Amino acid sequence: MIGAGAVLAGAAVLPISRVSPAAASGQPSWLADAVLYQVYPQSFADTNGDGIGDLRGITEHLDHLAWLGVTAIWVNPVFPSPFTDAGYDITDYVGVHPRYGAREDVAELVTAARARGIRVLFDLVAGHTSDQHPWFLQSLQDDTDSRYVWATPDQLPPDGSLPEDFVASPGPREGAFLKNYYETQPAINYGYARMNPDEPWRQPVDAEGPKRNREAMREVMDHWLKLGVSGFRCDLAATLVKDDPGWVETGKLWGEMRAWMDENHPDAVMIAEWGDPATSVPAGFDGDFFLPVNGPGDGAPWKSLWQDNPYFGADGTGCAKIFVDAWKQTEQTIGSPGHILLPSANHDGALRLNNGVRTPEEIPAAFAFWLTWPTVPTLYYGEEIGMRLIEGLPDVEGSNGRQNNRTPMQWNDGPNAGFSTAPADELYIPQDPDPNRPTVAGQLADKGSLLNFVQRVIALRTKHPELGSGGAVEVFHDGYPLTYLRGDRFLITINPSREQVTVDVADDRLAKARPVEDSGVRVEGRTVTVPAFGYAILDLG
């Protein structure tokens, strides 16, 4: 969740180094070869008929993910919560909300997933709790409790106004607390990097409250890692320490977390929701996403692909060079132990590849790029079948416009597309009403479907390390068609536009190239002609 206070402007290389065995040896973690799949649990599969997805629903569909080639799943929060922000307002970090199941269901999911070669990642929401969390309820009763950022009445403006992002105490403690996103999400106190006499409520990072909170988060991580979870996607990772120019103190905090994990759980990973791998990976994260905000150009690498006059747009007016250059610069900064993760969408973005502008015939070209570029591909549930972005859905649990891509997973042509046996009006979010909506079952039966194409390309990526995140890449052309060589073996050419395009490739092996995946690309000498929405993966031998 990229929220208020998370507006970051470009990379800052922190004076922090990873101390993990992987970094020290220059060897990447298991994340290097991962295909990550995001499961929004309440929308994935419902096994008890209450209209809301649950942990057993994920377990029951692991065979689908294993067949697809997924090696890790990131599950959004399943913890106890009043759901003012769809579970990102937590009341118990080490519990499971009954609507999702119980602790035993987590253990069963982890065990069943590992048996299929799939690791499970949970969300670490370290920046805030619910205002119903016992920590906050205790803080309301104790004026000396510094677990949260509190301003006393004498520290507040005399005119009765509140500083930005502060919320009046609901009592009995007087004063106001700092929120992190919604008013129901009080910010956990990790201190401020700088003191300011105009804001006397600030505490340093080594004060009792911040130290206590860092220890508490290690205990939370330890709990789930001992249960078999393989790591965490860390929510709002850039924002824990407040007023932190260059994120120096924030980097130290995560570096401490990383060092603790390396000592106690060396195989576990931390993935940042930061949006700037050049900053977050040197701070201790195994990887970070390119996101619509933060990092170079405030999300420009991601936006240039999918959103703002995107390269993957039929008009053919986008620019792949923005992404390519940002990727290259970031890779040079983070080095081989770190990873850039590339999603097309997530639960926050209110976007999908099938967004009402792109048509289904445009999507395979996007996957041909996405699964052959040297990043860690991160699939949001349902992208593999081309699920649609649905406009006009009701707000659900604080979704605030983000519900458009949170519709239930579409498994088959049964009631509710196989998501739930509940009455349609009792579903967590309404199902896509289109009678021709794509389903897993329908696409499995069609060899030419998007689902089968995605599975084949993932299998190809898994079989040939040249196509993975560690393989070399040489870009021949960053216009239309985007054309690049992976590992001095596979030539990939991608044309997301509605017009046929050509490119000259200076490689004499083209004449004997073997098409591995091909939508009608022609090779004549050194000239490659790619049809509208076309793509090819060519094995040069």
Kindly report the pTM of this predicted structure. 0.95
Local structure of residue 29 (DSSP, 8 states): -
Residue that finishes a domain, picked among 438, 465, 492? 465
**Residue 353 reports pLDDT greater than 60:** yes
**Residue 46 reports pLDDT greater than 70:** yes
Task: Please state, for a pLDDT cut of 90, what percent of the chain lies above it.
Answer: 93
Residue 20 within a domain: no
Question: pLDDT-based confidence at 28, cuts 50/70/90?
Answer: low
324 and 359 fall within a common domain: yes
The 10s digit of each residue's pLDDT in 178-233 is 999 999 999 999 999 999 999 999 999 999 999 999 999 999 999 999 999 999 99
Judge contact between 184 and 85, C-beta under 8 A: yes
The mean predicted confidence, pLDDT, of the chain is 94
Per-residue pLDDT at 64: 98
Distances (CA, A) of 277 to 11, 89, 201, 299: 8, 26, 32, 11
Residue 488 within a domain: yes
Local structure of residue 270 (DSSP, 8 states): E
The 10s digit of each residue's pLDDT in 394-447 is 999 999 999 999 999 999 999 999 999 999 999 999 999 999 999 999 999 999
459 and 477 fall within a common domain: no
76 and 138 fall within a common domain: no
Distances (CA, A) of 248 to 12, 13, 241: 9, 9, 9
**Residue 22 reports pLDDT greater than 50:** no
Residue 198: count other Cβ atoms within 10 Å of its Cβ. Answer: 7
Question: pLDDT-based confidence at 19, cuts 50/70/90?
Answer: very low
Residue that finishes a domain, picked among 448, 465, 482? 465
Residue 58 within a domain: yes
**Residue 21 reports pLDDT greater than 80:** no
Amino acid in position 190: Y
Q: What does the pLDDT average to over 98-123?
A: 98
CATH code at position 383: 3.20.20.80
Give the integer Cα–Cα distance in Å for 173 and 137. Answer: 10
484 and 345 fall within a common domain: no
- Looking at the DSSP assignment, which residues form a beta bridge with residue 151? 176
- Looking at the DSSP assignment, which residues form a beta bridge with residue 494? 482, 535
Q: To 10 degrees, the CA torsion angle through 492, 495, 501, 506? A: -20
Residue 201 within a domain: no
CATH code at position 529: 2.60.40.1180
Cis peptide bond N-terminal to 481, omega within 30: yes
Per-residue pLDDT at 10: 36
120 and 138 fall within a common domain: no
318 and 434 fall within a common domain: yes
Residue 350 within a domain: yes
Q: What does the pLDDT average to over 499-504?
A: 98
Q: What is the DSSP string of 449-498?
A: SHHHHHHHHHHHHHH-GGGSTTS-EEEEESSSSEEEEETTTEEEEE--SS
Q: What would the two tokens of residue 297 be?
A: 């150009």
302 and 426 fall within a common domain: yes
Q: What does the pLDDT average to over 339-361?
A: 95
Length of the chain, in residues: 541
Question: pLDDT-based confidence at 23, cuts 50/70/90?
Answer: very low
Residue 72 within a domain: yes
Amino acid in position 95: G
Environment class of 511 (CB within 10 Å of its CB; exposed 0-12, middle 13-18, buried 19+) = exposed
Question: pLDDT-based confidence at 336, cuts 50/70/90?
Answer: confident
478 and 393 fall within a common domain: no
Per-residue pLDDT at 27: 52
Question: pLDDT-based confidence at 16, cuts 50/70/90?
Answer: very low
- Looking at the DSSP assignment, which residues form a beta bridge with residue 523? 528
Element at 58 (helix H, strand E): helix 55-60
Q: What does the pLDDT average to over 113-133?
A: 98
Q: What does the pLDDT average to over 255-275?
A: 97
142 and 97 fall within a common domain: no
Query: What range does the domain containing 34 cover?
Result: 30-126+208-465
**Residue 450 reports pLDDT greater than 70:** yes
413 and 459 fall within a common domain: yes
Q: What would the two tokens of residue 12 be?
A: 């800052």
Give the integer Cα–Cα distance in Å for 24 and 268. Answer: 16
Residue that finishes a domain, picked among 416, 449, 465? 465
Closest by CA to 200, choosing from 169, 242, 156, 249, is 156
505 and 438 fall within a common domain: no
Give the integer Cα–Cα distance in Å for 231 and 278. Answer: 20
The number of distinct structural domains making up the chain is 3
105 and 140 fall within a common domain: no
Instruction: For tokens 């891509």, name the residue.
Output: 405
Comparing 16 with 373, which gets the higher pLDDT?
A: 373
